Amino acid sequence: MTEPTTPPQHFEALRDFANDLLSHSGLQGPTFLWDRSIHDDAQSDDAEREDIPVAPPEEAKQTIDAPIRWYLRAMDSLSPTPQADGTDGINRTDMPTFYYSTGALSGVEAVVGNALMSTRWCDAAGNLATALITTSSFLGSIADREGEGLAYLKRLIDETRIYFDSVAQHADPVTGGQALSSIVSAACQDDFRFNPVQMVQLISCSLPFAQWDDTRVFVYDAIDRAQATMASVERDIRSNDKDDPAGNLMMDSEGNLVDVSAGGIREQFDMSMLMLRHDVLRMCREDEQADRMLSEHSDIEPMADAYATQLIRRGQWRQLRDFAGRVLADDPYQQMALIPPQLAPDEWHTILDLAQYELAHGQ
């Protein structure tokens, strides 16, 4: 047995990290999309929620759209000449950088704030879906060079996920299923279809429903709808590739053309969906299956890291030694995604050292 080179203080920090990672999930293993703070924040918000009406759908849409139209008209006024395609307005390449302080998303804020404080779950979910779709579409038409628009969309997704923990906890199954369907529909259309990470984050609104037998079916239905949507996106992109090789070039926030390939989108989607499926198993208390999934996907960095932390937390040093050896044999240069570099300076070699150290000292 090789003498470990990593000093023992690193090992203690690694053990602390493994235990801390578990505390974030509040379950019997680490999670990727779920976090215990979602439930904690939902409980805190529940104290403020009331049975109050939300804006009717048409009024909500008008409230959302008005400031956005004002902002886009202001941008268009900066370009008095038509673009090459004959349309009026300014090219996004020449558009000034978007800042949240412009107030373009103030209508979204108002509608979302109203929805989040209401226990009329279906009506609120419909308005949240409209806000998400419109915000995502708006970001596709502005120059978000500083990322302020994207940061707001991420916050809106997080707020929606917190809200749906409350929906799962308090709504009757029929109402909960209808409310969730609105968000899943939003995730499976327009710009979200081409952003698999955000799409799956929205689909993860279904995770709290996995805790109970009578609502678990909602989770699997959401996953099936996402899978069907991604298959449709792939077909559309591949068909477009044949007709127009440059047709999948999209402009990013800086005005650069980016190739949106079917393979790239599918890879991101499959990775995100795998993590969602893992978290579903955790929420269902199917921990052995979840651990098996982590072990079987040792070539995927976050999943390998998560399994290592499970073995560290349990003190299963022989299994950790064998697992780290397998990872290194498959790819000696596999990096770590979850474990910070200061805790594992030699990455998987550090993990192997930890296992050997504990075995050598009779642990």
The confidence score (pLDDT) of residue 3 equals: 53
Judged against a pLDDT cut of 90, whether residue 1 lies above it is answered with no
d(CA 289, CA 278): 8
| 249 vs 160, residue with greater confidence | 160
The confidence score (pLDDT) of residue 2 equals: 53
295-311 confidence digits (pLDDT tens): 999 999 999 999 999 99
As a whole number, the mean pLDDT across the chain is 89
Give percent of the chain above pLDDT 70: 88
Q: Bin 86: left if φ > 0, else alpha if -120 < ψ < 50, else beta.
A: left
Give percent of the chain above pLDDT 90: 74
188-198 confidence digits (pLDDT tens): 987 898 899 99
The confidence score (pLDDT) of residue 71 equals: 95
Judged against a pLDDT cut of 80, whether residue 210 lies above it is answered with yes
Q: Which has the minimum average pLDDT: 92-96, 155-159, 247-251? A: 247-251
| 12 vs 186, residue with greater confidence | 186
Judged against a pLDDT cut of 80, whether residue 347 lies above it is answered with yes
The confidence score (pLDDT) of residue 7 equals: 55
The confidence score (pLDDT) of residue 257 equals: 41
Q: pTM for this structure? A: 0.89
The confidence score (pLDDT) of residue 191 equals: 83
The confidence score (pLDDT) of residue 119 equals: 98
Name residue 306's amino acid.
Answer: A
Q: How many CB atoms lie within 10 A of CB 95?
A: 21
Give how far the C-alpha of residue 311 lies from the chain's centroid of Cα atoms, to the nearest Å: 26
246-269 confidence digits (pLDDT tens): 445 444 434 444 455 667 888 999
**Contact indicator for 226, 202 with CB cutoff of 8 Å:** no
120-149 confidence digits (pLDDT tens): 999 999 999 999 999 999 998 999 999 999
39-61 confidence digits (pLDDT tens): 999 999 999 999 999 999 999 99
What is the pLDDT averaged over residues 336-358? Answer: 93
Judged against a pLDDT cut of 60, whether residue 244 lies above it is answered with no
What is the pLDDT averaged over residues 102-118? Answer: 98
The confidence score (pLDDT) of residue 363 equals: 52
d(CA 59, CA 55): 6
- In the structure, what pLDDT confidence band is assigned to residue 81 with cuts at 50, 70 and 90? low
- CA Rg value for the chain: 23
The confidence score (pLDDT) of residue 238 equals: 77
d(CA 251, CA 314): 48
266-288 confidence digits (pLDDT tens): 899 999 999 999 999 999 999 99
Judged against a pLDDT cut of 60, whether residue 5 lies above it is answered with no
The confidence score (pLDDT) of residue 131 equals: 98
The confidence score (pLDDT) of residue 297 equals: 97
Return the closest-CA partner of residue 51 out of 117, 128, 112, 122: 117
d(CA 67, CA 73): 10
| 236 vs 168, residue with greater confidence | 168
Place of tokens 């009024």: 59
**Contact indicator for 79, 94 with CB cutoff of 8 Å:** yes
Return the closest-CA partner of residue 167 out of 154, 188, 184: 184
